[in-house]
């Protein structure tokens, strides 16, 4: 019985001290927004439906402040790694897809201030 109590106490300690991770990953961000890349680089009248589906999906997944900050940092990383993205098109993309996000998509956004 004492061994069972000790095992339960150890398990509880492990669960309490386990690191907290963000639900949003950069893989999820880039995967969701991959259909947007041609539009972000070359523009167009409207983003493709698959692009807006990805924007909406990502917005729905980023429910907490840490998730939104992680998504913001991933967007900045992707922005810097993909050549030719038009700043005005990137900044307008969420609105064109009918989504409101609490920050501007820009390599200059301070993601630590995103709530």
Per-residue pLDDT of 49-87, as tens digits, reads 999 999 999 999 999 999 999 999 999 999 899 999 999
| pLDDT value for 67 | 94
Over the stretch 40-55, which tens digit does the pLDDT of each residue have?
999 999 999 999 999 9
Residue 23 pLDDT level (bands cut at 50, 70, 90): confident
Residue 17 has pLDDT above 70, yes or no: no
The residues, any chain, with a CB within 8 Å of residue 86's CB and separated by 6 or more, are 40, 41, 43
Helix (H, G, I), strand (E, B) or coil at 57: helix
| pLDDT value for 39 | 97
Residue 20 has pLDDT above 80, yes or no: no
* Measured distance CA(43)–CA(8) in Å, rounded: 57
Q: Please give the mean pLDDT across all residues of the chain.
A: 83
Residue 10 has pLDDT above 60, yes or no: no
* Measured distance CA(67)–CA(59) in Å, rounded: 10
């Amino acid at each position: 019985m004492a061994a069972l109590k000790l095992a339960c106490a150890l398990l509880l300690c492990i669960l309490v001290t386990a690191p907290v991770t963000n639900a949003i990953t950069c893989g999820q961000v880039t995967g969701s927004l991959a259909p947007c890349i041609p539009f972000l680089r070359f523009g167009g009248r409207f983003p493709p439906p698959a692009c807006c589906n990805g924007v909406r999906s990502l917005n729905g997944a980023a429910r907490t402040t840490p998730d939104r900050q992680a998504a913001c940092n991933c967007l900045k990383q992707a922005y810097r790694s993909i050549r030719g993205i038009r700043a005005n098109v990137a900044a307008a993309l969420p609105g064109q897809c009918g989504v409101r996000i609490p920050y501007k998509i820009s390599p200059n956004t301070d993601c630590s201030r995103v709530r």
